[in-house]
Chains A and B, each alone.
Chain A
């Protein structure tokens, strides 16, 4: 199937590398007449659907553009508040495009450190054996949802390699080790790379991409990975 994205998190919880391999397009554009039959609300500097799913528009989708013009956060391109704009009957009919909000790089940083704290939290509490029912447990190694599986490989030095993939994708364990190898070869041996800092290295990019391609071809219906 597909591998969605790769994250590298350093031992302090900072995101040092992120690559989106495949971004599914789930967008729907529709022309509305007054009044709007969706309930919209502000959420995190965006306007999202809070109630009323129809025609491919789902709860949680954000407004991406109005009449073909991309919106800027919670304002229209002219700088007016979207909710105010849509309350005005004279602006109708209006064509709105909805889709899953893209993660901004800031949000990615935040999610990386959030995951880091989850892993550290679990491991710390495993040592103190507070939540873990068994002794000597590691942090999260695999997290499963109905649309993706998150695989995490932590090296002894504390770097975490995180791969988001389709639940049916197999061979992720080998891929994670391959990424570790690429990291050691092309990031760590680069004299211009300073440890724990974001990786900006062309060879690393290239090799990572080809490793992902190989992994995607390698198979998609393995029982487990």
Chain B
């Protein structure tokens, strides 16, 4: 039961925000490279899913899991992408991601005139609120993992 890390991408593929809580393995590459890899992977999954789907989709890609972790994905109609990695015990983190968007991102970034949209989010208030929110999640407990 744990949360590994969170990425926020804008519609152009820039990584706006990254934070990690209980990441066991670090990438052996720079953060910039890692963001590009991650965005590229999500982009190909999205196009794969839209071609593969036998029916018309509404939400599209929601999550995938491997033997070790689960990646949750939420995309807003404006193209903002929220990616949360957790362990396998978390079956649905959609509400969490929606909450981060509507109650944290919109409140502390969009409504803050000093924050320039499309650049990295350097709002301290946003980071601390997000950190507090993630740490308060019922499935955040690194010790149990």
Chain A CB within 8 A of B91 CB:
yes
Contacting pair B25 A145 (CB below 8 A): no
Chain A CB within 8 A of B128 CB:
no
Write out the residue numbers on chain A whose beta carbons fall within 8 Å of the beta carbon of B34. Answer: 130-131
Write out the residue numbers on chain B whose beta carbons fall within 8 Å of the beta carbon of A125. Answer: 37
Write out the residue numbers on chain B whose beta carbons fall within 8 Å of the beta carbon of A144. Answer: 61-64
Q: Which residue of B lies closest to A107 (CB)?
A: B51
Task: Choose from A111, A134, A138, A164 the contact partner of B54 (Cβ within 8 Å).
Answer: A164
Given contacts A114-B44, A128-B28, A135-B25, contact A146 B66 (CB under 8 A): no
Chain A CB within 8 A of B124 CB:
no
Write out the residue numbers on chain A whose beta carbons fall within 8 Å of the beta carbon of B64. Answer: 140, 142-144
Write out the residue numbers on chain A whose beta carbons fall within 8 Å of the beta carbon of B91. Answer: 224
> Within the assembled complex, what's the spacing in Å between the Cα atoms of A212 and B58?
27
> Within the assembled complex, what's the spacing in Å between the Cα atoms of A58 and B53?
14
Chain B CB within 8 A of A65 CB:
no
Contacting pair A133 B45 (CB below 8 A): no
Write out the residue numbers on chain A whose beta carbons fall within 8 Å of the beta carbon of B26. Answer: 129
Shortest beta-carbon distance from A174 to chain B in Å: 18
Contacting pair A133 B23 (CB below 8 A): yes
Query: Could you say which interface size class chain B belongs to?
Result: 35 or more
Chain B CB within 8 A of A89 CB:
no
Given contacts A111-B51, A132-B69, contact A146 B59 (CB under 8 A): yes
Chain A CB within 8 A of B5 CB:
yes
> Within the assembled complex, what's the spacing in Å between the Cα atoms of A103 and B56?
14
Shortest beta-carbon distance from A58 to chain B in Å: 5
Which one of A23, A103, A135, A137 has the highest number of Cβ atoms from chain B below 10 Å of its Cβ? A137
Contacting pair A131 B41 (CB below 8 A): yes
Given contacts A26-B56, A142-B64, A145-B61, contact A130 B37 (CB under 8 A): yes
Task: Choose from B4, B29, B41, B53 the contact partner of A133 (Cβ within 8 Å).
Answer: B4
Chain B CB within 8 A of A5 CB:
yes
Task: Choose from B25, B48, B54, B58 the contact partner of A132 (Cβ within 8 Å).
Answer: B25
Query: Which positions 74-105 of chain B face chain A at CB distance < 8 Å?
Result: 85, 87, 91
Chain A CB within 8 A of B132 CB:
no
Interface stretch, picked from A80-88, A115-123, A192-200, A203-211, is A115-123
Please name the 3 residue pairs, one residue from A and one from B, whose CB atoms are nearest each other, closest first: A133-B4, A137-B68, A129-B25
